[in-house]
Structure 1
Amino acid sequence: MDGMDRQEEMKAWFSSLKPVRPVEMIGLWRGLGIPSDHPLDGVLENLGWFGKRFHADMRADALLFQWRADRLVAIEPGFLPIRLAIKAAPFGRTRVARTCFSYLQKVLRARGTTASLALQPSGDGATAAMRYDRQPIVDYFRWMNAQELAGMMCIAGDARHYFFQLRTIDAVAATQG
């Protein structure tokens, strides 16, 4: 199966899932990529991606990384041009990239929330979506089960989508290693 076949299969699977209301997403979520033949497969995990946090005011920390065992750091996505990140994806899966990124996290730290959450049209209905403030990216969400969401990251002008899952977690548990 080639990459575009896998992408089409993943889009169909995502569309089959139950929509999410934005208010159901408030809280801290642990993330993990779902392999879909997207260039970013494996990159976020290699760099220490933790997940996302959604606030009651419908704002979000779009990219949370595990800085130390007891500390999450929200990164400003606007510092990392998405098209460059996609081109550099093979490097993003290396140990050198992981080490460099760990040193850059303090510089790349967000000074506030970096995205907004709202109900958006998606396929056969509306579902929660997160629009990045400083990137041409929208993440759509659907329920996989009672504790897990599927996410589909869509970049303006790119037919490929990055898929991931989010699992709701207790914020205290997240900082206890």
Structure 2
Amino acid sequence: MNVVEGETMRGDQEEMAAWFRSLEPVQPKDMVGLWSGVGIQSGHPLDGVLENLNWFGKRFHSDMRADALLFNWRPGRLVAIEPNFLRVELAIKMAPLGRTLVARHGFSYLQKVLRARGTTASLRLQALDGIETAAMIYDKQPIVDYYRRIDDDGIAGMMCLRGDPRRFFFELRKVMD
């Protein structure tokens, strides 16, 4: 895994999975709040797609519900998007398009229409390789995001799509009020 001070982390799928599993588990209550996110390059088809679409991160509520996909809509304004608007399997197939300027501009116009009408996932403790850690389970997608602690303000995420051995890795940083 290549990690350089001040630069984005990157590695291949195996390196990133080993790094993720080396981290300490997280309790769901420690996830409550607003988190900014960035993808970690690992050779997953979705690498770079969320950033191109102005992904902000995630918000976890005290009732253990979550806004799974938060995007920058306008300066200072976040919008929670309904993850069910596009099947994740199709999103992965369309990933090269998702990294284009056309996709960025088109998505910015669609955000108001795609806005979630409520929270879109649940947060709970769930076992991964026999170790319980915080996990976010999407309501209408076959996705579970597992979380592990990087440091006091940083969390690593690993998105698992049922039936797909590839993992999408990302980092979340706590946004202080």
Q: Distance in 1 between matches of 2:96 and 2:45?
A: 8
| Structure 2 portions without partners, runs of 5+ | 2-10
Q: Distance in 1 between matches of 2:73 and 2:93?
A: 25
1:73 aligns with 2:82: no
Aligned-pair distance for 1:124?
A: 4.0
Correspondent of 1:98 among 104, 110, 122 = 104
Aligned-pair distance for 1:170?
A: 2.4
1:165 aligns with 2:171: yes
TM-score, with length taken from structure 2? 0.93
1:111 aligns with 2:117: yes
Q: Distance in 1 between matches of 2:122 and 2:174?
A: 18
Q: Distance in 1 between matches of 2:140 and 2:86?
A: 10
Q: Which residue of 1 aligns with 2:56?
A: 50
Matches within 5 A, 1:54-65: 54-65=60-71
* Residue type of the alignment partner of 1:79: F
| Structure 1 portions without partners, runs of 5+ | 172-177
* Residue type of the alignment partner of 1:36: S
Q: Which residue of 2 aligns with 1:174?
A: none
RMSD of aligned Cα (Å): 1.2
Q: Distance in 2 between matches of 1:144 and 1:94?
A: 31
Matches within 5 A, 1:1-177: 6-171=12-177
Q: Distance in 2 between matches of 1:75 and 1:120?
A: 24
Q: Distance in 2 between matches of 1:6 and 1:124?
A: 23
Q: Distance in 2 between matches of 1:157 and 1:96?
A: 30
Deviations 1:111-158 (A, max 9, x none): 000000000001241000000000000000000111000000000000
Q: Distance in 2 between matches of 1:72 and 1:10?
A: 29
Q: Distance in 2 between matches of 1:73 and 1:138?
A: 21
